[in-house]
Amino acid sequence: MWKYVLRRLLVMIPIIFLVIFIVFFIMNITPGDPVQMILGNDPPQQAVEDLRRELGLDQPFFVRFFNYIKNALKLDFGLSYRSRRPVFEGIWPKFPTTLLLAVLTVTVSTVLGVILGIISAVKEYSAVDVTLTFTSLIFASVPGFWLCLMLIIVFSLKLHLLPSSGVGSIRHFILPVLASAIPSAAYLARITRTQMLEVMRQEYIRTARAKGATEKRVIFKHALKNALMPIITIAGTSFAAALGGSMITERIFGLPGIGNYILTSVQAKDVPVVMGSTIFLSVIFMVMMLLVDLAYAYINPTLRSRFSRK
């Protein structure tokens, strides 16, 4: 087991290098000159050249790339072009907001999605099932930003129930959490329904019934655990994605999270910040995927024995 974890962690290293290269390359070929962004329009020629040299922008692409890698290995990700402070000093303060949003979103969407999916599956083809399936199809298909705007219009502008933007209290999180949780709950409900229906057809479900188990026990003890794998995959992936900051949600609701921070940094061509946060996000994503795989092993004994054999 630990061997497996170690191997997975080692595989992350080349992936991170690849991510760094791709982002570095893209930032290099996209238009916009960071020097101009910093100094504004029409700066003196001397200042431009000094700053260019200071930021190392006078060097060729590969030299800059290898310098970056060299420093990154020492955990030095450079200074933000805008604030002139180390990159992670800018990223860390944004993390709690994003983390809170992610935890709330995934909790709400998983609980809601799984419960609705189970109801749908147990009452297959009933009016409840048809309504749920239809509604979830709609919410899984609407664009995220549209949902954000609708929630603001209904709950803030019309009903004056909840604040439309900013932070300060937990109430500020209700709309953003709903906006991110509803589509993924809808998606999860559909997956859960399909999985549960598949599992409920299995022979061991009949065995459980033949033992005299109650329907509740059959569903929650025998069926759900077998249907859990794809549910965990989706919940894990969406948690990882949410940790990277839901850019649109954070922007629309004015939450000072990582997503929002990356967006402004990209606009300002703040290359070190973009680089730093991308690395941060990819590491988080890979660790989450590893946790998902370990969760598989936890719920599925067939996989568990395969892990331990390696």
Partner 1 sequence: MSFLDIRDLTVVYTNGRETVHALNDFSLRLERGKTLGLVGETGAGKTTAALSIMRLLPERTGRVLGGSVTFDGADLRSLKEEEMRVVRGGKISMIFQDPMTSLNPVLTVGEQIFETLELHNIENRSHQQLWERVDEMLALVGIPPERKKDYPHQFSGGMKQRVVIAIALACSPQLLIADEPTTALDVTIQAQVLAMMDELKQKLDMSMIMITHDLGIVAQTCDDVAVVYAGEIIESGSFEDFFMQDKRRHPYTRGLFGSIPNIDSRERRLTPIEGLMPDPTNLPEGCRFHPRCPDCTERCRTERPTAHERGGHVIRCHLFEKEGE
| Interface residues toward partner 1, by CB under 8 A | 124-125, 202-204, 206-214, 221-222, 225-226, 299-302, 305
Between 106 and 218, CB nearer to partner 1: 218
Between 102 and 200, CB nearer to partner 1: 200
Contacting residues for 155 by C-beta, under 8 A, at least 6 apart: 161, 162, 175
Smallest gap, in angstroms, from Cβ of residue 291 to partner 1? 19
Between 200 and 240, CB nearer to partner 1: 200
171-200 vs 224-243: helix axis angle to the nearest 10?
Answer: 150
Smallest gap, in angstroms, from Cβ of residue 226 to partner 1? 6
Between 219 and 240, CB nearer to partner 1: 219
Smallest gap, in angstroms, from Cβ of residue 240 to partner 1? 25
Smallest gap, in angstroms, from Cβ of residue 172 to partner 1? 41
Query: Residue with structure tokens 């290995």?
Result: 73
Between 159 and 210, CB nearer to partner 1: 210
* Residue from 220, 31, 3, 215 nearest 118 by CA: 220
Contacting residues for 111 by C-beta, under 8 A, at least 6 apart: none
Contacting residues for 285 by C-beta, under 8 A, at least 6 apart: 240, 241, 243, 244
Smallest gap, in angstroms, from Cβ of residue 215 to partner 1? 9
Q: Is the dihedral of CA 290, 294, 300, 306 positive or negative?
A: positive
